[in-house]
Amino acid sequence: MLNSAKHTFFIVTDDAKAFLKKVIKSVPLIEAAGGLVKNKKGEFLFIYRNDKWDLPKGKLEKGETVRMGAVREVEEECGIAVDKSGAKICKTYHAYVIKGQVVIKKSHWYKMRYKGKGKLVPQLEEGITEARWFDKKDTAEILKNTFPSIVEVMIVTKLITNSQEPLLG
């Protein structure tokens, strides 16, 4: 993976849970949380960070619960106040290289609601250049340029269907 840090790749295995347990024991695990935020118009909040569409999320701080961290990260990264943190969606895992070391990020995802009218303010110091509401019918733009873990959240929440999932080659 260190030699392929700029590329996305998949590992095919018969027992994903056993493989993941083995990997997590061998590299640092970073706990993170975030949300799929829906506004009163039925639109969904996405951010543009490091040249990819993403969902707001970030590392948990010491002493905070996963749900508290998810809400805090959404609020910090988008400049809004979350009205309600709802059901847990899923957990996703992805690996990346930081400072020459492979790490695994475990992200906990929650459904969230926003009823306000405030302007979105992307957190520039986190590399977020845009925060934007998307109607469900306009998610094709996101699918062209996002991460597999974000696609997974979109499938689990039925924001998209498996047939809309991009072919990753």
Mean pLDDT for 64-90 is 97
Mean pLDDT for 7-27 is 77
Rounded Cα distance, 123 and 75, in Å: 10
Report if pTM > 0.75. Answer: yes
Is the separation of the CB atoms in 72 and 140 below 8 Å? no
Half-sphere exposure of 29 (CA within 13 A, CB side): 12
Domain-located, residue 141: yes
Domain that holds residue 92: 2-164
User: Any idea which of 51-55, 131-135, 138-142, 161-165 has the lowest mean pLDDT?
Assistant: 161-165
pLDDT tens digits for range 144-153: 999 999 999 9
Domain-located, residue 169: no
- Is 168's pLDDT higher than 50? no
Domain CATH for 115: 3.90.79.10
Rounded Cα distance, 53 and 92, in Å: 16
Domain-located, residue 31: yes
Q: How many domains does the chain have?
A: 1
Domain-located, residue 88: yes
Domain-located, residue 14: yes
3-class secondary structure, 22: helix
Instruction: List, as one string, the DSSP characters of 91-155.
Output: EEEEEEEETTEEEEEEEEEEEEEE---PPP---GGGTEEEEEEE-GGGTHHHHTSB-HHHHHHHH
Domain-located, residue 87: yes
Phi, psi of 136 (to 5 degrees): -55, -35
pLDDT at position 112, please? Answer: 98
- Is 8's pLDDT higher than 80? no
